[in-house]
Amino acid sequence: MTTPRRTAPAAPGPESLVLGTMNFGTTVPESEAHALLDRFVERGGRWIDTADCYAFWRGASGRGGDSEAVLGRWLAARPGARDRVLLATKTGAEPVVPGAADGPRTGLSAEAIRSAARASLHRLGVDRVDLFWAHMEDRATDLAETVDALAELTDSGRALRVGASNHPAWRVERARALATARGARPVDAIQLSHSYLRPRPGAPTTEHPFGDLSEEQLDHAAASGMEVWAYTPLLRGAYDVPERALPAAYRHPGTTARSAALAAVADELGLSAGQVVLAWLAGGAVPVLPILGASRLWQLDAAFDAVTTPLPAALRRRLDEAGTG
């Protein structure tokens, strides 16, 4: 079995930042999306994250695919760009009924994965992706069937690696064991919601029952050598935009101490609170790659400045220990 090169940076730097493209082609017009992609590459970024369902809830058709199509046209218009970036896409969360987020999703059956991969590669205009994610759990499909279908992608070279988003640790480990037993490349990346502030125990922050990164999942990833990706790392702007209220799950007494520590560290470093969060994620003992859903060039530049700023050990300890007493 051929093992593709590891792509996670050894230390925080431009490659620590993932560009999230959820709204490209919907609320982020194509011209602005292309400008963001150009700047991302100029600043040394590598990973671009999308999904086949982006953004079905915003488009007129109720279907996803806009984000992948915008990326495909950007790649086609810039010869050589494909060699400078790493592409990640996902499947399994597209609604069966257009726009019906509360209804059944396409899931992770063998046929669903094969069909989705063909469609994603066509929209992207490429013959492979660097990472193919199972977007959400599908317990109606036998896990072995999903693993075999993902193995078809890696065996054929249409995907170099596979990952699991919004899955509990035990399902990820079972999938890894099944893949290893058949001689296939196992899941080696997980993607979940994660930030510096912690949600109240038991309070949902996503539509997914296991969508929040737990200490167990982080430990599992570290022990297994898996990459960890974090979506919504800036809580949709709540760290730095006064009119953006913290999501309800984060409004609890423990947030007070961590918010105070974050503000103090940001002031000492001359960064915004959100920038400190990105630096904290990227530079941890178990590095976490934050996915930035930028819609403005200045947001992207600020994020790159953050992940390339070393976070002194004493300040990291202050952040880590806040709210734990």
Answer yes or no: is 190 within a domain: yes
Amino acid at 301: D
Amino acid at 45: G
Report residues of the chain scoring pLDDT below 50.
1-8
Q: Are 187 and 252 in contact (CB under 8 A)?
A: no
Give the whole-angstrom CA distance, residue 54 versus residue 25.
9
pLDDT of res. 247: 94
From the DSSP assignment, how many helices (H) and strands (E) are in the chain?
10, 8
Q: Is the pTM of this model over 0.75?
A: yes
Answer yes or no: is 253 within a domain: no
37: domain range? 14-244+272-310
Answer yes or no: is 324 within a domain: no
Instruction: Report the run of H or E that residue 230 belongs to, with start and end.
Output: strand 227-231
Give the whole-angstrom CA distance, residue 6 versus residue 80.
21
Answer yes or no: is 134 within a domain: yes
Dihedral of alpha carbons 13, 6, 165, 98, sign: positive
pLDDT of res. 179: 98
Count structural domains, the chain.
Answer: 1
Alpha helices by DSSP H, listed for 125-168, are 143-156
Nearest to 87 by CA among 109, 70, 110, 63: 70
pLDDT of res. 208: 94
Answer yes or no: is 7 within a domain: no
Alpha helices by DSSP H, listed for the chain, are 30-42, 66-77, 110-124, 143-156, 169-181, 215-224, 253-269, 273-282, 297-307, 313-321
Q: Are 187 and 162 in contact (CB under 8 A)?
A: yes
pLDDT of res. 284: 93
- Give 19's strand partners: 48, 292
The single residue listed with the structure tokens 């709210």 is 323
Q: Are 322 and 253 in contact (CB under 8 A)?
A: no
pLDDT of res. 204: 85
Distances, alpha carbon 153 to alpha carbons 2, 65, 123, 133, in Å:
13, 20, 17, 11
Answer yes or no: is 6 within a domain: no
Answer yes or no: is 186 within a domain: yes
Residues with Cβ < 8 Å from 215, sequence gap 6 or more?
Answer: none
Using a 10 angstrom Cβ sphere, with 0-12 exposed, 13-18 middle and 19 or more buried, the burial of residue 163 is: buried
Answer yes or no: is 233 within a domain: yes
pLDDT of res. 12: 81
Give the whole-angstrom CA distance, residue 289 versus residue 297.
20
Q: Report the CATH number that the domain containing residue 151 is assigned in CATH.
A: 3.20.20.100
